[in-house]
Structure 1
Amino acid sequence: MRLRSLCAAALVAAASTLTATGPAAAAPLLCLASEKQIFAAAGTITAPVGELLACRRVTLSEVPGNISMTAYQVRYVSTDLRGAKVPVTGTVAVPSASWTKGGSRPTVAFNPGTLGSGPQCAFSKQLAGDYQDMYEGEQVASFLKAGFAVAATDGVGYIDGAVHTYMIGQNAGHALLDLVRASRRIPFGSLRADGPVGVAGYSEGGAASLWAAQVAASYAPELKVVGAAAGGVPGDLKMTAAKLNGGLFAGFLADAVVGLGEAYPSLPFTALLNDRGRQAVADVKSKCLLGTLSAFTGQKVENFTTAKYSLEQLYALGDASGLTWGQAVDAQKLGVGIGGAASTATWKIGFPTFQYRGLLEEIIPVETQEETRRLYCAAGIPTQFKNDYAGEHLTTDALARGDVTAWLDDRFTGKPVPNNC
């Protein structure tokens, strides 16, 4: 009995050590991490990209339907737009019901729509009921009911001491793909390396979905990605910013400015701010969706700098290397440099996309959504486009839920690819 107790204690101690997140962090033996360990500051990362650093079992109280599942809050290794390793957090959920449609269970890499940049806004925290300002629980439920595993990233920047790099394309795409890799390293997990992968998201998540599509072949060629569903996509951030500035939804622009400043620290930022600007940055870093929208309703970027810079004037400002704000914003534009799998394009995409928007879209310019679709079609990428959902921005996310799930199911089961280019 004493030997058994000692062995058990040793096992728990080993597991606790292996779920730590310091410089010597390694893949966990068991999912016994605390929430504090999941969201700990970055530290030194020696583990490979896509490695699982820590995990803990959670109940997803904000996923409706009483779906039987096994769910984990996770911390894993990804890379930023410069290739530097960064720890990212997220959720992995696997339905208890067997997958009965042939082959290994598929996984949907999911990026939620905008939740805000405060640390409490992380999607994995909200799904588990820690805080409520999100609207994507029903979409997760739809995937799980269809039998798909869900790998839902929080995105880069929700760990202690960091800031969410909102709308930074490569960061978002890498985080989605690396969570699929990490999901297959959960101790005693059931997800297999040959399982097909779909990518999905709406609004911020829609941009992330298409960025994952664009980088998949070069960044994660071993993943069997079969399709990407993306709705309400802000494909051109300059066009989107012009519409948001001074409007009801200027809070999204505030999130984007702070996210860009975090991702491109060499660009002039803090020195440009007046007192209102410094308070605005603090608001972005502490608030979630509704709080940010409320704080910035009707505000213009001109209000927050000492020189009252307009967007166009800000785009012209640069760092010592010659990089400008405008170039950093343009680097996030979707559909640039894309082509089919056999092309010589920078971003090779060998699978179809489903892109969609609402008839009453009032936040993201319709023109940029139509242009993103046009660029994908021009590149020869099979694309189904649906632009007649009878909703505005937020309700279209819900209206398209069944179509997104069905479209991904068709890709997982090898049905003919629709294309209305």
Structure 2
Amino acid sequence: MANTPYPESYYAASANAVPPRPALQDDVETDVCVIGAGYTGLSSALFLLENGFRVTVLEAAKVGFGASGRNGGQIVNSYSRDIDVIERSVGPKQAQLLGQMAFEGGRIIRERVAKYNIQCDLKDGGVFAAITAKQMGHLESQKRLWERFGHNQLELMDQRRIREVVACDQYIGGLLDMSGGHIHPLNLALGEAAAAESLGGTIYEQSPAVRIERGANPVVHTPQGKVRAKFIIVAGNAYLGNLVPELAAKSMPCGTQVITTEPLGDALAKSLLPQDYCVEDCNYLLDYYRLTGDKRLVFGGGVVYGARDPANIEAIIRPKMLKAFPQLKDVKIDYAWTGNFLLTLSRLPQVGRLGDNIYYSQGCSGHGVTYTHLAGKVLAEALRGQAERFDAFADLPHYPFPGGQLLRTPFAALGAWYYGLRDKLGF
């Protein structure tokens, strides 16, 4: 079988050394078979192993191959649609439960890093940067909303204050969340995989799930083996393909692009982001950036609907970087890559169960780093018979894309064009 390596990226080039993991080549039995060794799968596996389950993880390529190892590396709280939107959709009781969970993912990441001594350049502090007065008003209401759910590590910043934390003159203010932050995302995934193995979990790489035999004792087939389990957790997200057709119809893979500069040196790096916080702007099609442990700038943005890889990533993202930081005009770009995330029409994650024993979580819609860690805990709770938090997610309404899979890409691209225009015009 072909060996799928990591795509070229700064993260793959600077990943911590780990031993290669074997492909599954025989028949195994386990309590839980997890499909996908990204954050959702690894978080699920870790929580289950800590609670005494036998766990086998199947990964089509390598640990963290998908969005978990290619994202912007930012710890951003809440969901892609905030708690007030959820409240209008499902009512106060369910929203209360989801609101209480909205800040848990970041705490889980920090607990994992501390407990298992994961080396992933964890830094505290994330900034939401406002370009327009309307965006600033939204941040003011976001602060009130989050504080209503007990989240108090927030500071509103005026124009003078935001200049102290980011050397970019297009922002009129912002919101600083000290429980936000940033990490080397692939090294976090690799550390979580090692933690799972230290507890007796087994991870097979280069072992794609090609078929699920459903029933009382489900079996997951790979090209060279199979796993018989009591439960299955489907955690493939944008890289699941058509393994579970009923999940593919309600979601759409989208690509986002990231570039990384050459090392900037301490002085230039500190002049851009003196406190080493990460930043994202408040546009619908947002830009996001941060410094790495070796003082490079990671800058991402843009969305390609339908997950096609654009021909020249640097040509798309470098102008965005120079708009924020014209002082980097002579700086070389060392890495440029794309990765897919999974979009849902509601922008809310899809969580549920197929039959009695196949559980899934998917569709973080660009808010995956924190949500996936929470999802793993919620899925593990459900398998242990504590389903209240699982049900709060499972009861969220979900919609297929209009026109099905054929029209979902042009439909979403049209929506993005509309919102992009609104960003440009300052609506």
TM-score surpassing 0.5?
no
Structure (1/2) with the larger strand percentage: 2
The TM-score normalised by the length of structure 1 is 0.28
The TM-score normalised by the length of structure 2 is 0.28
